[in-house]
Amino acid sequence: MKKRILSGMRPTGKLHLGHLVGALDNWIKLQDEYDCLFMAADWHALMSEYEDTALLSENTLDNVLDWLSAGIDPNKATIFIQSHVPQHAELHMIFSCITPLGILERCPTYKEQMREVKTRDLNTYGFLGYPVLQAADILLYKADKVPVGQDQLPHLELTREIARLFNNLSKKETFPSPDAILTKTPKLLGLDGRKMSKSYMNTINLSDTADLITRKISTMFTDPKRIKLTDAGHPDICNVFSYYSIFVPEVKNDVYNWCSNAKSGCTECKKRLAAHIIEKVAPIQQKRALLLKDKAGLKKILDEGAKKASSIASETMKEARKAINL
């Protein structure tokens, strides 16, 4: 029996290169070795962006299309939309009865968002319970492993705590204690050198045209000490160089040489990088164009995914209800 993995993404906008190297590439590798469930967490998107849901279902389908285009294979993994499996909400409700307020209020991701996010009002009952829903997502499938980035580790810790609480209170070992699979990818920074994020408008999206990618890369910050073409550059502090390391490691040494020996200018260096990135996203975009033509095919994948997920989820819910005498 393969071990089970569950992971999810919150569909709040277009997927970008950060999602590709930070999560998707890893999911693609895991789908052979594990029984994988990949979920578009639209209820989580609602918790954080409830004020404007106009694009919610469009973003959700758009993200799933990007997953499939990048290589997530519906014959290997179960792909579904969270809100299509209502058991997530039921387990979330039960967990919310046993989760102490303090551990939610102390959660570092919660505190950070409350401090940092100024454009949306996150002072809601639902947003505080964001990690409780995530615990339900994971435990509903009794996942053994959860591939996540570093920032999500507190949510996994909370998941284990909630499982422990439920098991102790009901004196039954209903839920296992899942482990994180930490994605070891180097952090991909955005065009401006900050974390790549939609809210900083510094992303390169998987769906960007070749022109747009070239234009965006031309605006990237480089080694600030390299002013003239004859100045030697310092690739180690240049974001353009870190893109080479991540996306085209095979030419990394050449770039290091041109740069540190001032053999090539930054404009040229960026043009070449753009060509490599365009080459990397081209097959994803071609596949996407094909998938877009087959709306019924996408619906079928998601219907089958929800059906498979539901059948596991309903078994777990039977056990969970029984454990607490519902």
Q: Which stretch binds ligand SF4 (CB under 6 A): 40-48, 150-158, 195-203, 263-271?
A: 263-271
CA dist 290 and 192 (Å) reads: 33
Instruction: Tell me the CB-side half-sphere exposure of residue 266, using CA atoms within 13 A.
Output: 23
Give yes or no for residue 49 binding ligand TRP (CB under 6 A). no
- Nearer to ligand TRP among residue 39 and residue 68 (C-beta): 39
Residue with tokens 């510094």: 202
Q: Going by C-beta distance under 8 Å and a sequence separation of 6 or more, which residues neighbour residue 6?
A: 36, 37, 38, 39, 137, 138, 141, 143, 146
6 binds, options ligand SF4, ligand TRP, none, Cβ within 5 to 8 A by partner type: ligand TRP
In the complex, what is the shortest distance from the CB of residue 270 to ligand TRP, in angstroms, rounded to a whole number? 30
Select from 97-105, 111-119, 219-227, 280-288 the region that touches ligand SF4 (CB under 6 A). Answer: 219-227
Q: Which residues of 276-286 are buried (b: 16+ CB within 10 A; e: fewer)?
A: ebbeebeebbe
Task: Tally Cβ neighbours within 10 Å of residue 231.
Answer: 12
* 205 lies in the site for ligand TRP, by CB under 6 A: no
- The least distance separating ligand SF4 from the CB of residue 183, rounded to whole angstroms, comes to 25
87 binds ligand TRP (CB under 6 A): no
Asked if 226 is part of the footprint of ligand SF4 (rule: CB under 6 A), the reply reads yes
241 is a contact residue toward ligand SF4 (CB under 6 A): yes
Q: Does 7 bind ligand TRP (CB under 6 A)?
A: yes
Is the separation of the CB atoms in 305 and 298 below 8 Å? no
Q: Counting contacts by CB under 6 A, is residue 78 touching ligand TRP?
A: no
Q: For residue 100, what are its two tokens?
A: 């102490």
Q: Which of residues 128-157 bind ligand TRP (CB under 6 A)?
A: 134, 137-138, 146, 148, 152
Q: Report the chain's terminal Cα–Cα distance, integer Å.
A: 31
Q: How far apart are CA 91 and CA 159, in angstroms?
A: 12
| Structure tokens, 155 | 């949510």
Q: Residue 49 or residue 137: which is nearer to ligand TRP going by CB?
A: 137
Residue 134 CB, shortest distance to ligand TRP, in Å, is 4
Which residues, including other chains, have CB under 8 Å from residue 228's CB and lie 6 or more apart?
none
User: Is position 223 an interface residue for ligand SF4 (rule: CB under 6 A)?
Assistant: yes
Residue 18 as a binder of ligand TRP (CB under 6 A): the answer is no
Number of residue whose CB is nearest ligand TRP: 8
Place of tokens 């849901």: 53
- Residue 83 DSSP one-character state: G
Q: If contact means CB under 5 to 8 A according to the sort of partner, which of ligand TRP, ligand SF4, none does residue 259 touch? A: ligand SF4
Q: Work out whether 26 is an interface residue with ligand TRP (CB under 6 A).
A: no
Distance of CA 252 to the CA centre of its chain: 27
5 counts as binding ligand TRP under rule CB under 6 A: no
Look at residues 82, 70, 77, 108 and name the one whose alpha carbon lies nearest to residue 11.
Answer: 82
272 binds, among ligand SF4, ligand TRP, none (CB under 5 to 8 A by kind): none
Residue 83 as a binder of ligand TRP (CB under 6 A): the answer is no
- Main-chain phi, psi angles of 174, to 5 degrees: -70, -45
List 16's β-bridge partners, or say none. 205
Positions touching ligand SF4 (CB under 6 A) are 222-223, 226, 233, 235, 238, 240-241, 255, 259, 264, 266, 269-270
Positions touching ligand TRP (CB under 6 A) are 6-10, 41, 44, 134, 137-138, 146, 148, 152
